[in-house]
């Protein structure tokens, strides 16, 4: 992450104490403490390298310092403590704070966890005076996964009771809490080279010349690669995108841009050098000459959905038309992308693949000219992905090819400034919608024109977002007629791909806002309108007629019960804010999400001779806790303790296969595959025991860590020594053709300062049905973390471009993410009721909360400010955007009921 000039010719001897050990190391004078620690085996996760995110906090003497902003030479004589120093000595116990974080679900991907451990330690040493002060103190570090809720509870647990919690909740937790997460940043190979990319500074330009001699002449530079250096197979990135044949694009994406660049950040040259600093220097020495071009932004149009007939308007019906806009967002995981490619005798080992590991490996293999099985994928811990990380990117092709070509390991770690330009963006959609209802408020139909700013190139999943958006337009409502037309606009912005709740975050906002406006036209409350159209049990099975990789079909979704529960919560909320200039608004919305993309996923479960169980799957975790949840599934089927079970995202040779981790599909697809494999293994074991002991197989049971047959009982480890090899492993494949539907209702309170237009979200409550709950803490963590991510998109996150398609966001400072102080209390009520659609009965839980947040925030704000209801049409609703909506509405007077002025006019107090 560290970017700087080469100070390597000026090293300084630094003597300090690190975790109690005396250190004496030569540091380049410009090196940061983070670099220095990482270079000497004390892993420190750097999220931004610019002092924004705080993941790199370490204790320096009496305070917590951002180690990316601290010079190593500054720490002369200092006493440095990292998270590794808290548990010195093998086998030492985790601290109370570490156990509390685990017990409360205060960690997911683990990337920011070391920083929060140190932060909570500091809190314990100097406790804050209130919960608000606690949240403010926690706001020194950004977490993108948890929504902070578990961290707040962990801090309170330690501060109030000193009781830490008895056990470590997830298998993953111990290594994350002790700074032993194995992220790509910590992976190194002997004599590895470093890659750095030279990127376009222009939205659209012809490349007229690349001058690389100066860079090549630099000491330590091994290669300076341009498009023509790549083998023919690797030059076209578009081929990897498997673009639909009907795409009439006037351009196709090159892996390294050759003649043209179409967005700021597009890679053109890859510099490979012996050190990261030299690679950075050499990249600066590469001169690319450009001829700037005018914008060329073709639009491709097609029909997305056609349900029923195109509706006309009837006498006495209500027609509400509106235009809506959802801003450009990105996932912004706290860990940037990265890759380490290590050549081996017959191919490559790749570290750093995530999400859709198998298909990316296959595509990379095809591009660099290897058979897929010659690429071995090493599993890594992933510091958050959220749909954006783990898509296939040009860098993922260049780095492996460079390693093959040079015969040496090549490592690439993306900087945050690159990430905001080069990792997929998402969302940016413009809608023109007409919704028609009869005089009783029954929806008759809708039409939608959806324009997606897809960015410069068509990436593999570019079409997914408009497809999902339009397919979910009906939501949980009956909508007999619906036509949606999609327009892809190929602008000069970063290409787009899926980001948590792709398409659904957008469409939920559009639909729910349109319903609010329609309700106002009809003269009924929004709640009444929603109730009149909500799909009821009597409507089931209900096919809305739309298609999202298969037609939707609702079979066992009880919207009305959950919506009623949510309304009961809403009714208890005081509608008046005690603060003079603040109006309170409440949204109560039913929601429907779709999850799970098939088609199949396999898993194997193996019993080891020592009685341990190994589960091998094809999906990699990026913080969701697969090692815990999947272990529990296998443990339940085999009747053993979950601690006996370890989960591996298997090498390709393991024989398990599948698409990976996305679309909230892991519990459904991988979970069911693990369950099936475990059942199959259980059957084998029981049969073996039955035949050796001469009993009926039905009478053999596996439970409590042993096998019971009639009156005899043998412990699994003992049995394992005598079983045949064939009876100790089973592989199963789970097929699923269709979707699952997490659903429920949300209540969201917002306090809007009618003078400053600052909106702060008060309490949020979810009442939802995610099917069977495999692990309550994981489910809760996914809902709350997803909600907070959606909250960011609703209120503050945006990637604006200027009129020339130049990006205005260049680093993390420019893209505010929610911090602990921005996050309200979030209540989660989960109906633990298995759906019949799959054996485990799960519906998927990763995205539903994210998906509804834009709608809930928008509707709550409009509830607070009914005068400008018609103008609340854009996300994010920043103070400036809300002010603009008020101006568009004619700047109506926004009085508040409590007229008395007092000292507490400022909401922040």
Partner 1 sequence: MTTATFEYHRPATKRGTLQLLSELDGEVSILAGGQTLLREVHRDRARPDHVVDISALRDECGTISATSTTLVVGLGVRQQELLNFGPSRHDALLEALRCMGNYNVRCSGTVTGIVANSDPACQLAAVCAAVGATVVIESVRGSRRIAASELFAGVRKLARDELVTEVAFDATTTGEGTAFQQVAQRSVGGPHLAGVATRILVEDGWCTEAAVAVAVRGQYPRALVDVAGLLTGTRLRNADLGAASEALAQELTVGDDLFASAEYKTHGLRVLVNRTAHIAGIRAEGNT
Q: Which residues bind partner 1 (CB under 8 A)?
A: 2-7, 9-10, 12, 29-30, 32, 49-51, 54, 57, 63-66, 68-71, 73-74, 76, 119, 135-137, 139-141, 218-219, 281, 284-285, 755-758, 760, 795-796, 800, 808-809, 813-814, 816, 818-819, 821-822, 878-880, 883-884, 887, 901, 903, 905-906, 908
Q: How far apart are CA 35 and CA 220, in angstroms?
A: 19
CB of 312 to partner 1, least distance (A): 40
Q: Kindly state the smallest distance separating residue 4's Cβ from partner 1, in Å.
A: 6
Q: What is the DSSP string of 493-552?
A: S--B---SSTTHHHHHHHHHHHHHHHHHHHTS-HHHHHHHHB--GGG-SB----BSSSB-
| Partners of 24 in beta bridges | 15
Q: What is the DSSP string of 212-258?
A: -HHHHTSTTEEEEE-GGGS-HHHHBSHHHHT--TT---S---BSS-S
Angle at 384 between CA 101 and CA 597, to 5 degrees: 115
Neighbour order of strands in the sheet with 582-592: 582-592, 743-753, 759-769, 826-831
Which region, left, alpha or beta, applies to residue 744 given φ > 0 means left and ψ of -120 to 50 means alpha? left
Q: Rounded to 5, what percent of the chain is helix, strand, coil?
A: 35, 25, 40
The residue among 782, 781, 775, 830 whose CA lies nearest residue 633 is 775
Q: What is the CA radius of gyration of the chain?
A: 28
DSSP 8-state class, residue 69 = S
Q: How far is CA 194 from CA 37, 39, 526, 747, 774, in A?
A: 19, 14, 57, 49, 42
Q: Are 82 and 19 in contact (CB under 8 A)?
A: yes
The CA distance from 666 to 685, in Å, is: 27
Q: How far apart are CA 723 and CA 679, in angstroms?
A: 17
The torsion of the CA quartet 852, 853, 856, 858, rounded to 10 degrees, works out to: -120
Task: Report helix angle 149-156 to 776-795, nearest 10.
Answer: 120
Is residue 792 a contact partner of residue 332, using CB atoms and an 8 Å limit?
A: no
In a 10 Å sphere around its CB, with 0-12 CB exposed, 13-18 middle and 19+ buried, how is residue 902 labelled? exposed
Alpha-carbon distance of 66 to 78, in angstroms, equals: 15
Nearer to partner 1, 231 or 800 (CB): 800
Show Cβ contacts of residue 893 under 8 Å, excluding neighbours closer than 6 positions. none
Which helix (H) or strand (E) segment holds residue 761: the answer is strand 759-769
Residue of 750, 688, 683 lying closest to 723 (CA atoms):
688
Nearest partner of 685 among 715, 644, 648, judged by Cα: 715
Q: Which is nearer to partner 1, 194 or 757 (CB)?
A: 757
CB closer to partner 1, 119 vs 456: 119
Of 678, 673, 684, nearest in space to 617 by CA: 673
Nearest by Cα to 377 from 616, 614, 191: 616
Paired tokens of 174? 């111990």
Using the minimum distance from each CB to partner 1, give the nearer residue, 554 or 799: 799
CB–CB of 111/336 below 8 Å?
no
Residue 55 CB, nearest approach to partner 1 (Å):
12
Nearer to partner 1 among residue 309 and residue 880 (C-beta):
880
Element (H, E) at 427: strand 426-437
Residue whose pair of structure tokens reads 């009149």 in the numeric block = 532
From residue 354, alpha-carbon distances to 184, 379, 488, 830, 899 in Å are 11, 8, 27, 29, 55
Could you count the other beta carbons within 10 Å of the beta carbon of residue 879? 15
Give the whole-angstrom CA distance, residue 886 versus residue 585. 16
Of the pair 588, 761, the CB lying nearest partner 1 is at: 761
Q: 3-class secondary structure for 635-660?
A: HHHHCCCHHHEEEEECCHHHCCCECC
Distance CA 96, CA 106 (A): 13
CB 177 within 8 A of CB 93: no
């Amino acid at each position: 992450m560290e970017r700087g000039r080469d100070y390597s010719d000026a090293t300084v001897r630094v003597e300090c104490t690190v975790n109690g050990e005396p250190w004496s190391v030569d540091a380049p004078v410009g090196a940061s403490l983070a670099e220095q620690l990482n270079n000497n085996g004390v892993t420190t996760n750097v999220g931004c390298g610019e002092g924004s995110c705080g993941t790199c906090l370490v204790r320096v003497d009496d305070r917590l310092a951002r180690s990316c902003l601290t010079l190593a030479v500054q720490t002369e004589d200092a006493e440095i403590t990292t998270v590794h120093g808290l548990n010195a000595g093998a086998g030492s116990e985790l601290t109370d704070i570490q156990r509390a974080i685990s017990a409360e679900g205060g960690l997911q991907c683990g990337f920011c966890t070391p920083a929060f451990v140190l932060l909570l330690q500091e809190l314990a040493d100097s406790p804050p005076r209130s919960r608000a002060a606690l949240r403010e103190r926690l706001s020194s570090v950004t977490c993108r996964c948890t929504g902070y809720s578990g961290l707040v509870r962990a801090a309170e647990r330690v501060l109030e009771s000193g009781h830490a919690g008895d056990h470590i909740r997830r298998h993953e937790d111990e290594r994350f809490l002790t700074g032993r997460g194995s992220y790509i940043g910590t992976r190194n190979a002997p004599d590895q080279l470093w890659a750095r990319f030279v990127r376009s500074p222009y939205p659209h330009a012809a490349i007229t010349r690349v001058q690389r001699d100066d860079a090549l002449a630099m000491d330590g530079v091994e290669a300076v690669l341009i498009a023509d250096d790549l083998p023919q197979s690797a030059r076209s990135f578009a081929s990897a995108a498997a673009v639909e044949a009907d795409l009439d694009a006037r351009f196709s994406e090159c892996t390294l841009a050759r003649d043209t660049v179409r967005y700021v950040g597009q890679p053109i040259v890859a510099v490979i050098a012996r050190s990261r600093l030299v690679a950075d220097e050499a990249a600066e020495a590469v001169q690319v000459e450009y001829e700037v071009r005018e914008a060329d932004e073709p639009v491709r149009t097609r029909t997305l959905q056609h349900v029923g007939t195109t509706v006309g308007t009837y006498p006495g019906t209500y027609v509400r038309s509106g235009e809506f806009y959802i801003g450009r967002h990105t996932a912004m995981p706290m860990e940037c992308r990265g890759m380490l490619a290590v050549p081996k005798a017959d191919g490559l080992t790749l570290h750093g693949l995530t999400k859709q590991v198998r298909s990316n490996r296959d595509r990379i293999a095809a591009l660099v000219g290897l058979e897929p099985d010659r690429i071995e994928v090493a599993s890594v811990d992933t510091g958050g992905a959220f749909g954006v990380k783990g898509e296939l990117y040009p860098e993922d092709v260049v780095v492996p090819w460079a390693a093959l070509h040079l015969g040496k390991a090549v490592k690439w770690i993306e900087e945050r400034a690159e990430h905001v330009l080069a990792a997929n963006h998402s969302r940016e959609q413009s809608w023109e919608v007409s919704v028609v209802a009869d005089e009783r408020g029954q929806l008759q139909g809708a039409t939608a024109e959806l324009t997606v700013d897809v960015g410069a190139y068509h990436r593999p999943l570019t079409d997914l977002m408009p497809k999902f958006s339009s397919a979910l337009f009906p939501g949980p409502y009956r909508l007999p007629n619906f036509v949606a037309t999609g327009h892809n606009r190929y602008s000069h912005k970063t290409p787009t791909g899926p980001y948590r709740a792709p398409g659904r975050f957008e469409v939920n906002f559009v639909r729910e806002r349109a319903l609010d406006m329609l309700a106002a036209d009809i003269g009924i409350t929004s709640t009444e309108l929603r109730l009149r159209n909500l799909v009821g049990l009597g409507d089931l099975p209900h096919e809305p007629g739309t298609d999202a990789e298969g037609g939707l079909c609702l079979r066992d979704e009880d919207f009305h019960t959950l919506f009623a529960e949510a309304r009961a919560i809403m009714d208890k909320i005081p509608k008046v804010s005690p603060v003079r200039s603040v109006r309170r608004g409440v949204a109560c919305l039913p929601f429907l999400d779709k999850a799970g993309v098939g088609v199949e996923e396999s898993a194997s479960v193996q019993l080891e001779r020592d009685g341990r169980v190994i589960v091998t799957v094809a999906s990699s975790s990026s913080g969701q806790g697969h090692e815990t949840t999947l272990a529990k599934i296998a443990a339940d089927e085999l009747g053993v303790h979950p601690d006996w079970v370890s989960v591996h995202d298997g090498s390709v040779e393991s024989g398990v296969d599948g698409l990976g981790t996305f679309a909230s599909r892991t519990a459904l697809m991988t979970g069911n595959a693990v369950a099936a494999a475990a059942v199959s293994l259980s059957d084998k074991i029981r049969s073996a025991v039955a035949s050796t002991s001469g009993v009926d197989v039905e009478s053999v049971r596996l439970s409590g860590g042993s096998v019971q047959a009639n009156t005899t009982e043998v412990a699994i480890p003992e049995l394992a020594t005598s079983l045949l090899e064939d009876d100790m492993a089973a592989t199963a494949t789970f097929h699923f053709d269709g979707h699952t539907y997490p659903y429920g209702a949300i209540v969201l309170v917002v306090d809007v300062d009618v003078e400053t237009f600052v909106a702060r979200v008060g309490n949020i409550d979810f009442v939802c049905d995610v099917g069977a709950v495999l692990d309550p803490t994981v489910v809760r963590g996914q809902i709350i973390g997803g909600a907070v991510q959606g909250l960011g998109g609703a209120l503050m996150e945006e990637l604006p471009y200027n009129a020339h398609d130049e990006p205005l966001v260049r680093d993390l400072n420019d893209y505010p993410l929610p911090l602990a102080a921005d996050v309200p209390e979030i209540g989660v009520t989960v109906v633990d009721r298995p759906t019949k659609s799959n054996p485990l009965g799960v519906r998927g839980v990763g995205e539903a909360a994210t998906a509804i947040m834009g709608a809930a925030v928008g509707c709550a704000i409009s509830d607070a400010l009914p005068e400008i209801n018609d103008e609340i049409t854009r996300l994010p609703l920043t103070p400036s955007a809300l002010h603009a909506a008020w101006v568009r509405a004619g700047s109506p007077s926004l009085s508040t009921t409590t007229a008395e002025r007092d000292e507490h006019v400022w909401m922040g107090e």
